[in-house]
Each structure stands twice: as C-alpha cells, then as structure tokens.
Structure 1
Amino acid sequence: MTRKLGIIVTDRGSKYAVSGAAVRDRAGVDAVLKELKRDKAYAKATHNTWGVLLSEAGPLKGDDGEAGAGMVILRMLERAGLEDHLIIVTRWYGGKHLGGDRFRHVQTCVSAYLEGDGHGGKETG
C-alpha cells in the first residue's frame, strides 16, 4: 500500500511531495512507481526520485533527472536503518533553479515521511 503525504515544501514555484511503500525487490519498486504515476499529477511531475535499501539486493536509487537526489534518500534510509521501504520524492519544477536548496528540500520530505506513521513493520508490500 502506497502512502502519499502530498506537498511538503514549496519554494520559488517548485513543489515537493513524498510517498512511500514497503517493497521486497525491484519488481516491487517498479510496481509502486507505476501505481504512483497512475495519478496524473504525479505522472506529469518533473522528477520522481527514489531510494530503497533492499535487504536481499542492497541499495537501489533513481534520480529521474534530479542528479544526486536518489543518493540523498539512500543516505537518510541508511541512517534510519529502514530496509525494504521505498521512499519517493516528487518535484514539480516551478521555473527557477534552486541550486543546493533542492537537496535540502529532498531531506525535508524524507524526514517528514520518516517522522510520520508511513513506515514500520505493520505494512506489507
């Protein structure tokens, strides 16, 4: 079950949202991304960056054109010790470059997700 927290950050026209779900493998990652993009707003987003620490296969990430964003998500998952849970940060580009602030916004989104009840042992993928 995918959990969408919606818009977390707005900066200079860009909007950031965070979503996530329990997954066990790459097929699970692909299924969650496909499900997310069924929502037209997410399908039209500029970037759907993601990261996951799979207990069987190790770390996987996708920058979706936002170079370095997947690694930010992976580092935060490693610090949290959260395995087998995909986190997706979605950005709708607002027309102005944000420079390094974009990474801070990714961190803010992941933190909001980790602090919520969107992760934990009770969910299944």
Structure 2
Amino acid sequence: MIVLEDLVRDRGSRYAASVGEVRTRAEIDAFLAALRTRRKFSKATHHSWAAVLSEGGPLKGDDGEAGAGAVILKMLEREEVADRIVVVTRWYGGVHLGGDRFAHVVTCTRAALAALREA
C-alpha cells in the first residue's frame, strides 16, 4: 500500500491518496479496512475509490462524495491500470467546495498513479 498524505488543502478540507494491488472484491474490502485502521484515516469523512479487476471488471465507491468514484474509475480506465485500487481520502473542512472537489480528486488520483509507476 502506497499512501500519499496531505496532497491538497482547500478551504479547510484535506486530501490524501492511496494505491495498492487488488484482484478481487474481497481484497478491495480488505484494502479499505486496512486503510481505515490507520488512526488518521479512521477519522476521514470520505474514502472514494475505484478499481478495474482483470476478472470482475470496473468497481467504484463514492463513500458519500457523489461522483468521485466515477472520476477515479475513468482515470484508471484511460491509463489501462488493472488490478490496482486508488482511494482518495477527504477530511471535510466545513466548507462546500462545489466542482473544485472533482479537480482535487483528479490531482490526488494523478499523484497515486505517478507513485505507482515509480514503485
């Protein structure tokens, strides 16, 4: 699991990204559970994620951040990244960000994909 903390700060909200290998829905659930065991991440407001499984196809979850999973999934499909999960974590800062939140999801996903290429 690669975890990139404090990638974006905007009006009190903070963002991080995590990426790792998954091959099944059970491994996705285990990855998310492991991320949530980290003290800091257990207090996050949203863990939006997506993965494209070789055997199982595309999966995504918004975790209350409507549309965020679809943004991550589109980027994974465009880059043809299979059997990896990208999770964008947000700690809500009390101010609605509107469409800017999607730009932050894109920024975090790009950073996660870059870290994956470097690993």
Superposed pair shares fold, TM > 0.5: yes
Does the CA contact (< 8 Å) of 1:21 and 1:119 recur in 2? no
The Cα shift of 1:36 comes to 0.4
1:46 alignment partner AA: T
Give the ranges of 4+ consecutive aligned residues of structure 1 lying more than 6 Å apart after TM superposition: none
Deviation string 1:32-85 (CA, Å, 9 cap, x unpaired) is 001001112111100000000011000000100000000000000001100000
> Within the alignment, does 1:20 sit opposite 2:19 as a pair?
yes
Greater fraction of residues in helix = 2
For structure 1, list consecutive stretches of 5 or more residues without a partner in the other structure: none
When the two structures are aligned, how many residues end up with a matched partner?
A: 119
TM-score, normalisation: structure 2: 0.96
Q: Counterpart in 2 of 1:53?
A: 52
Q: Counterpart in 2 of 1:44?
A: 43
Secondary structure at 2:90 match in 1: strand
Does the CA contact (< 8 Å) of 1:49 and 1:89 recur in 2? yes
What is the CA–CA distance in structure 1 between the aligned matches of 2:68 and 2:117, rounded to whole Å?
20
Alignment of 1:57-72 (within 5 A): 57-72=56-71
Deviation string 1:92-122 (CA, Å, 9 cap, x unpaired) is 0001000000000000000011122x258x8
For structure 2, list consecutive stretches of 5 or more residues without a partner in the other structure: none
Alignment of 1:1-125 (within 5 A): 2-116=1-115, 118-119=116-117
Secondary structure at 2:73 match in 1: helix
Secondary structure at 1:42 match in 2: helix
TM-score, normalisation: structure 1: 0.92
